[in-house]
Amino acid sequence: MRNLFRRGFLRLGLIVWACAVCVGMSQGQEPKAELPEAPVAASGAEPSSAGDIELSWKQLPKRIVQDQKSILLFPTQLARGRCWIPTLAVVGGTAGLIAADPHAMPYFQTHAGNLDDFNDTFDGPITNAEIAIVPVTFFLTGQIRHDSYTSKTGLLAGEAYADGYIVSLAIKAITRRKRPSEVAAGASYRDTFFNTGKSPFGSSFPSGHAIEAFSVATVVAQRYGRHRWVPWVAYGAATAISLSRVSTRAHFPSDVFLGAALGYSIARFEVLRH
Element containing residue 242 per DSSP (H, E):
helix 229-247
pLDDT for the residue numbered 119 = 57
Contacts within 8 Å (CB) and 24+ apart, 18-21: 18/130, 18/133, 18/134, 18/137, 18/138, 19/137, 19/141, 21/220, 21/224, 21/230, 21/233, 21/234
pLDDT tens-digit readout, 8-20: 445 544 544 544 4
Structural domain contains residue 44: no
Q: Write the DSSP assignment of 37-89 as a string of letters.
A: TGGG--S-PPP-STTPPP--GGGHHHHHHHHHHHHHTHHHHHHTT-SHHHHHH
Structural domain contains residue 143: yes
Structural domain contains residue 202: yes
Count the domains in the chain: 1
pTM reported for the whole predicted model: 0.82
- Per the structure, the complete domain to which residue 126 belongs is given by 84-274
Structural domain contains residue 224: yes
Neighbours of 145 (CB within 10 A): 15
Structural domain contains residue 42: no
Mean of the pLDDT values across residues 33-49? 41
Structural domain contains residue 244: yes
Structural domain contains residue 17: no
C-alpha 238/C-alpha 177 separation (Å) is: 23
pLDDT tens-digit readout, 138-185: 999 999 999 999 999 999 999 999 999 999 999 999 999 999 989 887
pLDDT for the residue numbered 113 = 55
Structural domain contains residue 12: no
CB 224 within 8 A of CB 31: yes
pLDDT tens-digit readout, 58-106: 999 999 999 999 999 999 999 999 999 999 999 999 999 999 999 988 8
Question: What is the CATH classification number for the domain harbouring 107?
Answer: 1.10.606.20
Which of residues 28 and 243 earns the better pLDDT score? Answer: 243
